[in-house]
Amino acid sequence: MSGATSVPDFRGPDGKRLTYGSKAYQEAFAAWKKTPDASFYNDWRDGLRKAGLEKYDLDAAADNTNTVAKGHGQQVRGYQSFVTLMEKGSDHPSSQFMADVTDDMITAEKHDKDVWDLYGNFDHTNGKSWFANDPVDGALGIMGRDPETSTGYLDPHSGGGSNDRLHYLLKERDWNVTNTTEWQGERELNAPDAADGDNRVGLGAAIEAGATGHPAGDTTQQSDGKHSAAEARIMQSTVNLLDQGTNGDSITANLRDPIARALVDYAPDTHNTLTHDPRYTYTEGGSVFQDANGGHLNVSQDSLTRVLRGVSDNPQNFAHLYDAERAQAAHTLAGADATYSNNKDWENRVADVGMGAGVFNAIGADVILDDRDARKAWADDVARYSYHAIGAPLTIIPGVGDTAQRMVDGATYEWSKDVKAEADQVANIGVAKEMGAKSQGALDLVQQWETTRGMDYTKDPVANYLQDYMNLHYGSARNQALADLHRGLS
């Protein structure tokens, strides 16, 4: 199979390998397809288009113990068996082939949205799919193992032009590929299609790999928070698409974890967006902006806030994102001018600490308030997952130097307590407008920094002023985030 699915390593005039998804690669591939050398690849793909839609008997599908009577004897499409084979194989199909076969399957399902529909349960078993009943999602999962393939495939500007693959997958595709039935007396009748429990698992993997540049689920690599323009375009488009109609606070369950991991990888960008860094001024419909450190997000603060909320139903996600924000805040403080002066540097930095904490405390309060009694347990879980609780270093969070690491280590207050306190205050009608604009967790971090600057944070007038300044911006950011989450203050 590897020979049939491979294409040459195209190289530019300088001899360097061309990256899949680049304009130069696309031009080289288009030229190669017209040569005799490409005849085998072209013929293989043409044959697969036909065989992929043919129906075949498959014992694994017919014998599925969860298959209802209507599903007995059902046949599967060739693409479903083929993707299953690729999932289990050790070969690494070329990026181009993975893109081509996935595009061909999408073309087929656009013609017939029920083309993959089967009866029965084909969810993951022990984390592994035993049959790719949704071959498009299966192919995306394979892409998630290879960041270059995922980036080139999902980048909205892939090939130097534009493509709507990510838009289609997030907003248009019919993910209900399971036939269901219902009984009326002794008659088994067809019922509306449903989604598998593992729907979008492959899509989430491809988004994570494509946006971050590392294989999906890999939390061992230390990130520097730098991304290519193509990777940033995927992350930016994902945020914008998920928040269409201001619905980013409600994200399909299987997308939450991979998108949360990707957002942690973008912690410098999310911090700068939430704290109104002037470089991150949002322009509607604008492109990512680039500097010497690569590509950066151009997303609105309200959309980002809602998407952060959307992935935070999982307490582990929220804990990791909040830890990443606190690390960025510490990094910001560590870079302050040596002395306090009239250039507003220190004020701006403590304001950033307050704004970041305000947004995240509002997100946590919103989670709790959605189901107040049950969600207090969510906050307790958040505390258990924070890096302090598990004794883990912040090495996987971008932009954490030794000084910032020590500062966060020294800030021992359990910031999850702030989340509970905010939820209680917002819930008390008549108190919300006047509730105290304070975050003990953010205050603890600022006080740790003030100590490193030789100040007595309990008595020094400059230290007290900076704490008040931080709290002022904390309250403003918290109130705005609550409004962005449709949680109006009473």
Distance CA 248, CA 363 (A): 12
Average of pLDDT values for 408-422?
77
Residue 114 within a domain: yes
- Which amino acid appears at position 268 of this protein? P
pLDDT (tens digit per residue) in 232-255: 999 999 999 999 999 999 999 999
Encode pLDDT of 260-315 as tens digits.
Answer: 999 999 999 999 999 999 888 888 888 999 999 899 999 999 999 999 999 999 99
Q: How far apart are CA 309 and CA 306, in angstroms?
A: 5
On whether the CB atoms of residues 206 and 95 are closer than 8 A, the answer is no
**In this predicted structure, what is the pLDDT of residue 236?**
97
pLDDT at 383: 84
Report which of 261, 272, 271, 168 is spatially closest to residue 213, judged by C-alpha positions: 261
Same domain, 452 and 317: yes
pLDDT tens digits, residue range 183-196? Answer: 888 888 888 999 99
Judge contact between 280 and 236, C-beta under 8 A: no
Domain boundary residue, one of 202, 222, 254: 202
Nearest to 128 by CA among 88, 172, 72: 88
Mean pLDDT of 123-131: 67
Whether 194 and 328 share a structural domain = no
Q: Is residue 330 part of a domain?
A: yes
Mark whether 92 and 197 lie in a shared domain: yes
Task: Find out whether 28 and 81 touch, Cβ atoms under 8 Å.
Answer: no
Q: Is residue 252 part of a domain?
A: no
Question: pTM score, two decimals?
Answer: 0.93
Q: What pLDDT is attached to residue 65?
A: 45
Angle at 346 between CA 425 and CA 301, to 5 degrees: 50
Pair (197, 317) in one structural domain: no
Give the burial class of 364: count Cβ atoms within 10 A of its Cβ; 0-12 exposed, 13-18 middle, 19 or more buried.
Answer: buried
Domain check: are 186 and 270 in the same one? no
Domain co-membership, 465 together with 323: yes
Residue 396 has pLDDT above 90, yes or no: no
Closest of 32, 84, 34, 37 to residue 56, by C-alpha = 84
d(C-alpha 206, C-alpha 144), whole Å: 4
pLDDT at 284: 84
| Residue among 210, 203, 195 nearest 156 (CA) | 210
CA–CA gap between residue 279 and residue 377 (Å, rounded): 38
In angstroms, the Cα distances linking 11 to 19, 27, 304 are 9, 11, 38
- Looking at the fold, whether 175 and 28 belong to one and the same domain comes out as yes
Q: Which band of pLDDT confidence, cut at 50, 70 and 90, is reported for residue 386?
A: confident
**118 lies in the same domain as 39:** yes
At 488, the pLDDT band (50, 70, 90 cuts) reads low
Say what the pLDDT of residue 401 is. 75
Return the closest-CA partner of residue 57 out of 70, 75, 77. Answer: 75
Same structural domain, 60 and 186: yes
pLDDT at 489 over 60: no
**More confident of the two residues 451 and 432:** 451
**Beta bridge pairs of residue 385:** none
Domain termination site, one of 158, 178, 202: 202
Is 303 within a domain?
no
* Structural domain count, the chain: 2
- Flag whether pLDDT at 422 surpasses 60: yes
Asked if 181 and 269 sit in the same domain, the reply is: no
> Is residue 269 located within the same domain as residue 195?
no
Q: Bridge-partner residues for 180, per DSSP? A: 191
- By DSSP bridging, strand 178-184 and strand 118-119 are parallel
Residue 193 domain-assigned?
Answer: yes
- How far apart CA 303 and CA 293 sit, in angstroms, is 24
Residue 284 domain flag = no
**pLDDT confidence bin for 432, thresholds 50/70/90:** very low
Q: Is residue 238 part of a domain?
A: no
pLDDT at 300: 95
pLDDT of residue 425: 78
Count H helices and E strands in the chain, helices first: 21, 7
Specify whether the backbone of 155 is left (phi greater than 0), alpha (psi in -120 to 50) or beta: beta
Q: Note the pLDDT of residue 414.
A: 75
Residues 352, 471, single domain; the answer is: yes
- In sequence order, the β-bridge partners of residue 16 are none
Inside any domain, residue 447? yes
pLDDT bucket at 372, cuts 50 / 70 / 90: low
Res. 431 pLDDT band, cuts 50 70 90: very low
Tens digits of residue pLDDT in 49-84: 999 999 998 665 544 545 555 666 789 999 999 999
pLDDT tier at 170 (50, 70, 90 boundaries)? very high
Q: Which residues, in sequence order, are CB contacts of 140 under 8 Å at separation 6+? A: 102, 169, 202, 203, 205, 206
Q: Which residue reads 């606190």 in tokens?
A: 326
- Contact present, 162 and 112 (Cβ < 8 Å): no
Scanning the structure block, which residue is given the tokens 């879980």? 381
pLDDT above 70 (res 374): no
Q: Specify the pLDDT at position 490.
A: 47
318-341 pLDDT per residue, tens: 999 999 999 999 999 999 999 998
Mean pLDDT over all residues of the chain?
88
Of 202, 223, 239, the residue at which a domain comes to its end is 202
Give residue 111's domain range.
23-202
Q: pLDDT tens, 153-168?
A: 999 999 888 889 999 9
pLDDT tens digits, 447-468:
999 999 999 999 999 999 999 9
